[in-house]
Chain A
Amino acid sequence: MISNYKAMQLITSIMGVIMIVFLISLNVMYFYPYTVVRLNCPAEVSQSEVKPGEKINYRLRYNKKLNIPEIVSQQLVVGNELVNFGHSEGILDIKSNSIDLQLLIPKDIRTGSAKIKIFARYSLFWGMRIVDVERETETFIITSE
């Protein structure tokens, strides 16, 4: 028969091991570098010059590993001017490996060298882990009308 002291020691060590396993799994959850999608950089643009008010097409090549919907936002960067475009959800299909996207260049944008930044956000483990992916297109020129 084991004494009370030994029983307490056993319970404490079991609890300790459970806590360590729990903390290690939390570490894996938050810090393991999960690759949900690989976005091939940079995305190819259809034309090297575009005028304000025109549309620019670009092809984003990707390799999606997990079938998790994403939030995608686009941001046009011209010098230090930023134009944000609203978000889309779940646009990258796991069965495909490229998507053609289109962006309308605003009419009142400045001219010069520009690029489009693409942000994708994935939520893993019921929202506990957030994975952000950020890529850019090739540089293109916004010319005057």
Chain B
Amino acid sequence: MNIYKTINIIYIIISLIFISMVYFPVNNFTLIGDKVKILNNNKVVQIGDKVHYELSYHKRFDIPSLLTRSVLIDNGYYISEKTIISSVPAGTNTVVSTFKIPNTDFMLGKTKLIIKFEYTLFGGLRTINGKIESEEFTIVK
């Protein structure tokens, strides 16, 4: 075979592999149900207390994600935890976790928990971002 043809074919194959890795639609984490369930009584949480939540999900690859949890209050205030590395087991599961509401008066009112995650595939070549939200709950004094 002609050397130029061989080079072209290798180049096209490697390029196609890279393009498919970057653009092929992959979904690693799917929430089962519409929203994350809030487990606190009457969906009411006191400031300084923890909001307990439950999420059912389907996860394809057992890889950790960068996770940022935040709370968006109706009055416009927004508080976010520092980004952490976290992982839930792969497969279809239900997990329970908590988020501590800061002890400040700005945090009163109706709110929801927002969980943002970022999965890294192929050693950083591809990132998958996602966002899930909880049911509404109320923060009281």
Please give the residue numbers on chain A whose beta carbons come within 8 Å of chain B beta carbons, in ascending order. 9, 12-13, 16-17, 19-20, 23-24, 26-27, 29-31, 71-73, 75, 80-87, 106, 108, 117, 119-121, 127-132, 134
Contact = CB atoms under 8 A, between A and B. Distances in A.
B50 interface: yes
Contact of A73 (B10, B14, B84): B84
Given A30-B124, A31-B122, A84-B97, A132 B85 contact: yes
A80 B95 contact: yes
Nearest to B97: A82
Nearest to A133: B64
Interface of B: 3-4, 7-8, 10-11, 14-15, 18, 50, 63-64, 67, 81-88, 93-98, 120, 122-125
B84 A31 contact: no
Given A13-B4, A80-B96, A87-B84, A129 B123 contact: yes
Contact of A16 (B8, B18, B87, B124): B8
B18 to A, nearest CB: 7
Given A9-B4, A80-B94, A84-B86, A128 B124 contact: yes
Contacts of B67: 84
Given A16-B8, A129-B124, 12 more contacts: A20-B11, A24-B14, A73-B85, A83-B98, A84-B97, A87-B85, A108-B98, A117-B87, A121-B85, A130-B124, A132-B120, A134-B87
Given A23-B15, A30-B123, A80-B93, A13 B7 contact: yes
